[in-house]
Structure 1
Amino acid sequence: MEQEKEKVKTGNLVDFQVLKRLFQFARPYIKQFYLLVFLTIFLAILTPIRPYIVQRAIDDFVPAGDYDGLVFMTTILIGHIILLAIVQYSHTYLSGWVGQVIIKDIRVKLYRHLLKLRLKFFDKTPIGRLVTRNVSDIETLSNVFSEGIAALIGDLLQLVFLMGFMFYLDWRLTLVSLSTLPLLIFSTYIFKEKIKVTFNLVRNAVSNLNSFVQEHVTGMNIVQIFNAEKREMDKFKEINTEHKKAHIRSVLYYSIYFPVAEIIQAIAIGMAVWYGARGILINTETGPGVIIAFIMYIQMFFRPIRMIADRFNTLQMGIVSSNRIFDLLDSKDHIPDEGDYKPAEIKGNVSFKNVWFAYNDEDYVLKDISFEVKEGETIALVGATGAGKSSVINLLSRFYEINKGEIDIDGRDVKDFDLGALRQKIGVVQQDVFLFSDTIRHNITLGNPDIPDSKMIEAAELVGVNKLIQKLPGGYDYNVMERGSTLSVGQRQLISFVRAMVYDPKVIVLDEATSSVDTETEELIQNAIEVLMKGRTAIVIAHRLSTIQGADKIIVLDKGEIKEIGNHQELLDNKGFYANLYQMQYKEVIVS
């Protein structure tokens, strides 16, 4: 499968609209953020003081032989170092804390938003991309707060204070020392531009690699069934090679830039020592302490400049990630939940009135569908693959929104219902049962604290699966692993029935699935189906016509249109679509 590649794009460093929106998430922690700003400024002021203390100690007290004064300055220096360490610790911890609590809030908001999106959105959006948005992109945002803006402001302030101290000590020596600064700024700019593109290539490569691995591990049975291991391995090697090349390219730029920056710094120190020593030899006011202080200042001055390139890229990548996250948060592809009708109970009368539905534009998969199901009745939907059977049951719970027409429950439009209340009254059992990597208890209750164990066990006994569960190691605490891989198809299906039963829905929607199970399990499933439908309005997708002969009404669909409605015998007597389908299945049974 060809991996979908996202466009490589870079963020605008001065995209104030994005930054403004991003910092709205910092409002609950505004006190901590202001404290972080204060510590940043305080740290920028403290850092340049140490070389000045060293200079005073050497030039004022060493030549005069003032031992007490030297001890006093040493004590001040030690106190300064301790204070600086405390402030640096507080600044580093607080910046990391602020970043983590903010991305926690953003991640919660993003996941809550994902939960509200309609299934149509997930049909057209790769899972790997959504995982990247919720994990990698949000993690990048933490760096914006911990290593981006705060650190960048701190570096710039530190440069200002360093330059102020340097000019205060000796403006001529400062100009000589910083004469190589334009060369460093130029090399830093080149590095910033190169690494900016490389970072985006790396993120794109990581996204492609994650998507490929996730998809193919999930579909490993298909890969092995069709003996495609070698072909898929070749694809993986190709994607992994692109990932390696992107990383090596970034390593190359780092390996060139930092030695160049070190050379430029060494030249600056050499020029400072030469000019300062020359001043001492010609008896100017320059002392040895000044030279030592300037060596320290140059090292302090060049370090933040070297780091600024990384700070800029961190900020830009944060802007890119912010745009991606905000694009997802701004997605309006969700089912409108504007209804406020929350009935305590419903009778279960269901009515479809001239319903039209299309997944894409006007490519309708349901065309003018109308039928009624009265309280306690069972209807069956039959038809060839693609006839629109699954679409009908998806629309009832508003997993998708209809284009035209109306769907009513007890005479009320489903749009009038509160979405949560509506889905609570409708139990859906799908053919492709999904179980989470958790205990059977969690897969039945989905963590709902309102469902006690007694109710869960009662539902399991009604379905006839309680003894089967009790035989498993740990019983209801047995971990079914990812997608229920440790259970058979029939066992997963039975657990899904229990899951529907514990919520005691008045309308049950059943995508009947007995074709891939053994005879004994099929009998259990058929009994469970009868229990589920008893006293409830039931809409069943029939795969085996023999299982729905007792339905009150059978609706035959073909290419999104209703062709016939009636009970089993009436439809056989009509000798139409249903009769042909029944005859075809009957022949298959005889042949087998």
Structure 2
Amino acid sequence: MSLPEELRFMKELQHLNKYFKKYKWKLILGFFIVLIARIFAILTPKFSGDMIKYVEDYLNNGGELSALKHQLLVTLLMLLGAALLSAFFTFLMRQMFIVVSRYMEADLKNEVYEQYQNLSLNFYKKNRTGDLMNRISEDVSKVRMYLGPAIMYGVTTVILFATVIPYMYYSAPELTLYVLIPLPILSVAIYQLSRMIHKRSTVVQQYLSHLSTFTQESFSGIGVIKAYGIEPQTYKNFEELSETNKDKNLDLVKVQAFFFPLMIALIGVSNLLVIYIGGKKYIDGSIPDLGVIVEFLIYVNMLTWPVASVGWITSLVQQAEASQKRINEFLNEKPDIVNHTKEHTPINGSIRFDKVTFTYEDTNITALKDISFEVNKGETLAIIGKTGSGKSTILELIGRLYDTTHGTISIDRTPIEKLNLKDLRTAIGYVPQEAFLFSDSIKENIKFGKKDASDEEVIAAAKNAVVHKNIVDFSKGYDTILGERGITLSGGQKQRVSIARAIIKDPQILLFDDSLSAVDTETEEEILSNLKNISADKTTILVSHRISSAKNADKIIILEEGEIIQQGNHEDLVKQPGYYQELYRKQLDEKEME
């Protein structure tokens, strides 16, 4: 049996209950501040009515003019005091609810970002960056409007109705009933409009994600767009997507536009009813003085914004529900890779693959087939093979970016799943195939491997990665900013900065994924010589297409379509007919021709 729409709506926003619980005392205090502010607010019409009553009594019954002036002055001062106190507590109310909503917004963003950090690579292959960014920015902002303004004005409206309407009924029961006639009509209209807003808000947020994704990819790939001269086509695609996004927003705004005209019309009807019915009651004596009518007019207009805000609040809540639903989709995602132990598990570095098979879930491609090998601490293993043979997959499995489909990976004779995930990754220095550097200084990019590293350690790591001379040639040296607002390094420089980042970490396991492909052979030999000294007591796995990178390794394995077709050391493999020998001769000939 499916839940009604209203209950499903409540279910989505129930995720936020923990934040209400966290800040419950501030919210409770805010509730009492609202109550005090509304009490002072409803006194102002009462004092206004009293002033009219005093003047009416004077005109009808006569009396001392000085006494009337005194009464009016005292009542005016009381009215002014009530208005000032109401304004002061309204200020406190906004400070309480809006500030708390900002705290909740920060907590929710942190929760979403932490979840993003925990999710596995498969998740990021299935979802676009623009959509991820939109959910943590636009969607969370929509939810904040519910956590702050919607709740604040909702509480204000409830308290105002709970205090004003009983007083109005006490003063003139029949007149109050006439004045409240438009409210049921308003409730039905709000219910119908809210359902439409809910549906259209969901569509708007989805298209906003599409637009964010497109623009993010366009900016990231601006070099390719310019190189291929496809700016007009890209602009056309953006214009079409932007136009669709505009149309969806207009569909939503057209529905929302019904709210305020409807509210004003119904409030206008209430004012007319007060004047007409109240006037008749005053003439026939049912209402003793004009002050009551004045009070009712002020009260009705005082209820104008709360009644009108019901529609606005409903709109905010519906948009928040649509956004929270999108946020919950990611928060409810379960990471593929789970840390099974919280106990500290020190890593020495010996690695063993035992009949490991791995299939990528998103493509269903079996990258490794029944792979077995072992590399001990202090040894270097080189992996060579054609593109798509499974070389990078081995490194990803060692870092537990994925879990094996079949077979076992052991580190220090312990299955990798039983190791503390943080300890495992802390023990690894990984240089990916495509070096990624952050939009920060070169120094901070290197220190990413070790945040508390000294300048001397940074320079030493850069020297070992043979990039120090390039860095000092820049005008700002190690403080040179990379990325969007700084310089762009060459491919070889990026790789060497990434290598420095791994070296400075001083890990037990070093993984190099074809990370010397963009450097010349002379620089490669210098880096390899430095790495040999650095990795004397470490486990090193080096993926490469070059024999020059692999020849000094203790062990070499050759992969083809996910299977090991050859293994041994350089001396053994160059003597064996096969892939390694052919590659060696080919690269030797190329070197001689240079």
Q: Which residue of 1 aligns with 2:426?
A: 424
Q: Which residue of 1 aligns with 2:358?
A: 357
Counterpart Cα distance in 1 of 2:519 and 2:407: 38
Counterpart Cα distance in 2 of 1:161 and 1:312: 22
Q: Which residue of 2 aligns with 1:4?
A: none
CA contact under 8 A between 2:38 and 2:86: conserved in structure 1?
Answer: no
Deviations 1:504-542 (A, max 9, x none): 123211112444446676566555555554553221111
Selected match of 1:50 from 33, 44, 51: 44
Selected match of 2:273 from 271, 274, 284: 271
1:566-585 to 2 correspondence within 5 Å? 566-582=568-584
CA shift at 1:274, angstroms? 2.3
| 2:454 counterpart letter in structure 1 | P
Selected match of 1:488 from 477, 487, 490: 490
Q: Which runs of 4+ in 1 moved over 6 A?
A: 587-592
CA change 1:198–1:116 in 2 (3 A) is closer
Selected match of 2:26 from 29, 32, 35: 32
Q: Which residue of 2 aligns with 1:378?
A: 380
Q: Which residue of 1 aligns with 2:514?
A: 512
The alignment partner of 2:495 has SS state of helix
Q: Which residue of 1 aligns with 2:62?
A: none
Higher alpha-carbon deviation: 124-133 or 273-282 = 273-282
| 1:432 counterpart letter in structure 2 | E
The alignment partner of 2:352 has SS state of strand
CA change 1:408–1:456 in 2 (3 A) is same
CA shift at 1:418, angstroms? 1.8
1:240-279 to 2 correspondence within 5 Å? 240-279=242-281
1:405-444 to 2 correspondence within 5 Å? 405-444=407-446
CA contact under 8 A between 1:11 and 1:320: conserved in structure 2?
Answer: no
| 1:176 counterpart letter in structure 2 | Y
Q: Which residue of 2 aligns with 1:401?
A: 403
The alignment partner of 2:558 has SS state of strand
Q: Which runs of 5+ in 1 are unaligned?
A: 1-9
1:458-469 to 2 correspondence within 5 Å? 458-469=460-471
1:93-492 to 2 correspondence within 5 Å? 93-339=95-341, 342=344, 346=348, 348-360=349-361, 363-446=365-448, 448-482=450-484, 486-492=488-494
Say whether 1:63 aligns with 2:64. Answer: no
CA shift at 1:196, angstroms? 2.9
Counterpart Cα distance in 2 of 1:475 and 1:271: 78
CA change 1:207–1:172 in 2 (3 A) is same
CA contact under 8 A between 2:201 and 2:318: conserved in structure 1?
Answer: no
Q: Which residue of 2 aligns with 1:7?
A: none
The alignment partner of 1:275 has SS state of helix
CA shift at 1:269, angstroms? 1.3
CA shift at 1:449, angstroms? 4.3
TM-score normalised to structure 1 length: 0.90
CA shift at 1:272, angstroms? 1.8
CA shift at 1:232, angstroms? 1.4
Q: Which residue of 2 aligns with 1:82?
A: 84
CA change 1:583–1:230 in 2 (3 A) is farther
CA shift at 1:146, angstroms? 0.9
The alignment partner of 2:334 has SS state of coil
The alignment partner of 1:63 has SS state of helix
| 1:60 counterpart letter in structure 2 | Y
| 2:216 counterpart letter in structure 1 | Q
Counterpart Cα distance in 2 of 1:283 and 1:418: 85
Counterpart Cα distance in 2 of 1:216 and 1:444: 28
CA shift at 1:37, angstroms? 2.1
CA shift at 1:369, angstroms? 0.5
CA contact under 8 A between 1:429 and 1:511: conserved in structure 2?
Answer: yes
Deviations 1:189-229 (A, max 9, x none): 44333333332232222211111101111111222222221
RMSD across aligned positions (CA): 2.8
CA shift at 1:19, angstroms? 4.3
CA shift at 1:87, angstroms? 1.1
CA change 1:89–1:260 in 2 (3 A) is same
| 1:248 counterpart letter in structure 2 | L
Deviations 1:358-400 (A, max 9, x none): 2218742111110111332222111111111000011111111
Deviations 1:244-297 (A, max 9, x none): 122333333344432333233223212321233334444553433222222212
CA contact under 8 A between 1:149 and 1:315: conserved in structure 2?
Answer: no
CA contact under 8 A between 1:352 and 1:372: conserved in structure 2?
Answer: yes
Counterpart Cα distance in 2 of 1:183 and 1:332: 45
CA change 1:200–1:47 in 2 (3 A) is farther
CA contact under 8 A between 2:446 and 2:458: conserved in structure 1?
Answer: yes
Aligned length: 582
Deviations 1:140-187 (A, max 9, x none): 222222122342232123123222122222222223333333443444
Higher alpha-carbon deviation: 383-392 or 195-204 = 195-204
CA shift at 1:108, angstroms? 1.8
| 2:300 counterpart letter in structure 1 | I
| 1:54 counterpart letter in structure 2 | S
| 2:407 counterpart letter in structure 1 | G
TM-score normalised to structure 2 length: 0.90
Selected match of 2:94 from 89, 92, 95: 92
Q: Which residue of 2 aligns with 1:536?
A: 538
CA contact under 8 A between 1:380 and 1:539: conserved in structure 2?
Answer: yes
CA contact under 8 A between 1:13 and 1:312: conserved in structure 2?
Answer: no
